[in-house]
Each structure stands twice: as C-alpha cells, then as structure tokens.
C-alpha cells in the first residue's frame, strides 16, 4: 500500500493557521510524525482559504523538504498551484488531481509526464460526483484513454473512485468499493487505484472505526494507495494486517514493527 499522509491540508485548522502565519514548526512536525508513522508520500494542500495559493504551495513544499525525504502529493484543483509545487519538489511528486474532463486531462496528463510525476485521475465529470459504479467506470475509461494517447506511463497513474461521506450518501460507499473491482477489467495491466479515505467518515461519530473498516474493504478489492492519517495507529495496524492476510507481506510475529521499518 502506498500510504499518503493527509494531515498537511489547510482544511485542518492548525495547518490553515500555520500556512497563514508561515509557521514552519507546525508543518515540519506534522511532516516528521507522518513519515515516522509509515507514510511514504505526504499530501500537500494549501486549503480553501489561502489567497496566495501558488506562493503557499511553494512555501509548503520547501518547508517540508527541509525535514523529510518523502515524496509529495500536490493537492489542488488549480494547474498553476500544482505546477508551482512541481518546480521545487526534489523527490517523487504526485499530481493530485485531474478530473475525467478532457480539458483537465489535456493539462494535467502532459504536466505529470513532463515532471516525471505520478498522477491521480478522479472519476469526476462536469456534472459533479459520480452517480454509481457504472459512471465511475466510464470516467475511469476516459482517464485511461487520455493517458494511453499521451504516452503516459500507466504505472504512474492512480484512479480515484471518489469516496463520499457515509452519513450523507450511504449507498456511495458500496458503489466506490465495487468500482475499484470493476476498474481492474478496463485495461491490461489493470490501472492502480487510490482513495481519499477520511472523506467516508466526515461528520460521523466513529471516524477512526469507519475509516479503518472501509480501508480494509477497499484493500480486499485491490486498492493500491490511500490518502490517510498515518498517525491513527489503529488504522495503520489494521491496514498492515490486511496486507498480511492478502499475502502482500511475509508473516513473522513482529510483522507490525517490521512494516514500519521498511
């Protein structure tokens, strides 16, 4: 599982405040803690409030890189904001994300290719969130077509079925899970997949329990990557145990510790 730490996102109050005040310590502590907890990439999102989003992205990337070597997953809907980050990323970069709209794909696919970055393709169209598993597969096929036509290395592509809060869109959790399975039949080799896990529990009472239960179900459908809070130890232990049971790691009594030392 490619673990992408979600915490450096202006959506979180502490991070939003740190970005506004250009307070490096808050950001660097979160970067170090997430990497120590098992994240191999860190999501970087300036949040909805940042006025100077491009400048804030550059500052975040440089601030994080002062303390960790993790890959960075640049999270914005705006191409200019992502590109500002791509220019300064030293290690592996990930473009998060393009929708399945042709106009967006025509910008983001060549951009990811130029910077040798991974790319997340959201199964989102102009009409907003996908209705069901079939519409998710239609959008996934459009993303795959664009990438193949542009000569983008499919090993670097991750398709996101869009996870929605279970408290407001309950049937969508199952639709997203089934879509993960259906994507495997769209292309050979099957495209990789990613989810933004914490979406599923937004506004609910049992956030951590709902997150880890959904993550394991998604893993059973072949999920390759997830944007998660790696500091949630129960979540990480459940994820590592699911990988063991899916025969992705070799068993030993200390398999939980062994995973984190990788």
DSSP 74: E
The residue with its CB nearest to ligand THG is 196
Considering only residues 117 to 176 of the shown chain, the ones binding ligand THG according to CB under 6 A are 120, 160, 163
Considering only residues 221 to 260 of the shown chain, the ones binding ligand THG according to CB under 6 A are 227
Q: Are 104 and 66 contacting, i.e. CB atoms less than 8 angstroms apart?
A: no
Q: Are 50 and 15 contacting, i.e. CB atoms less than 8 angstroms apart?
A: no
What is the rounded distance in angstroms from the CA atom of residue 257 to the CA atom of residue 65? 26
Nearer to ligand THG, 163 or 216 (CB): 163
Nearer to ligand THG, 221 or 249 (CB): 221
Q: How far is the CB of 122 from ligand THG (least distance, A)?
A: 6
Nearer to ligand THG, 44 or 216 (CB): 44
- Of 259, 251, 215, the C-alpha closest to 235 is 215
What is the rounded distance in angstroms from the CA atom of residue 113 to the CA atom of residue 224? 20
Q: How far is the CB of 43 from ligand THG (least distance, A)?
A: 6
Q: How far is the CB of 217 from ligand THG (least distance, A)?
A: 16
What is the rounded distance in angstroms from the CA atom of residue 79 to the CA atom of residue 61? 16
**Is 93 in a helix, a strand, or coil?**
strand
Q: How far is the CB of 244 from ligand THG (least distance, A)?
A: 25
Piece of the chain touching ligand THG by CB under 6 A; list 11-19, 81-89, 126-134, 234-242:
11-19
Choose, by CB under 6 A, the member of 199, 215, 242, 259 that binds ligand THG: 199
Residue 155 neighbours by CB under 8 Å, 6+ apart: 192
Computed over its alpha carbons, how large is the radius of gyration of the chain?
18
Asked if residue 247 has a cis previous peptide bond (ω within 30° of 0), the answer is no
Q: How far is the CB of 42 from ligand THG (least distance, A)?
A: 11
**Is 106 in a helix, a strand, or coil?**
helix
Q: Does 28 bind ligand THG (CB under 6 A)?
A: no
Choose, by CB under 6 A, the member of 37, 40, 96, 99 that binds ligand THG: 96
Sites of contact with ligand THG (CB under 6 A): 6, 9, 11-13, 43, 75, 96-97, 120, 160, 163, 196, 198-199, 202, 227
């Amino acid at each position: 599982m490619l673990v992408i730490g979600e915490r450096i996102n202006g959506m979180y109050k502490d991070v939003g405040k740190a970005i506004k005040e250009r307070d490096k310590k808050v950001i660097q502590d979160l970067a170090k803690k997430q990497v120590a907890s098992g994240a191999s990439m860190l999501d970087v999102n300036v949040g909805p409030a940042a006025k100077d989003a491009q400048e804030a992205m550059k500052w975040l990337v440089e601030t994080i890189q002062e303390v960790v070597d993790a890959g960075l997953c640049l999270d914005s809907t705006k191409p200019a904001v992502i590109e500002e980050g791509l220019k300064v990323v030293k290690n592996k970069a990930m473009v998060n994300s393009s929708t399945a709209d042709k106009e967006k794909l025509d910008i983001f696919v060549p951009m990811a290719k130029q910077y040798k970055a991974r790319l997340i393709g959201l199964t989102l169209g102009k009409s907003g969130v996908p209705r069901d598993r079939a519409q998710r597969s239609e959008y996934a096929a459009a993303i795959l077509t664009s990438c193949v036509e542009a000569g983008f290395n499919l090993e670097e592509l991750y398709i996101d079925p869009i996870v929605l809060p279970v408290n407001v869109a309950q049937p969508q959790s199952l639709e997203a899970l089934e879509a993960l399975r259906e994507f495997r039949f769209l292309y050979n080799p099957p495209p990789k997949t990613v989810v933004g896990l914490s979406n599923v529990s937004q506004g609910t009472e049992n956030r951590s329990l709902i997150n880890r239960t959904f993550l394991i179900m998604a893993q059973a459908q072949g999920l390759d990557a997830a944007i998660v809070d790696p500091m949630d130890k129960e979540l990480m232990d459940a994820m590592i145990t699911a990988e063991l049971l899916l025969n992705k790691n070799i068993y030993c009594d200390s398999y939980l510790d062994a995973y984190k030392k990788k």
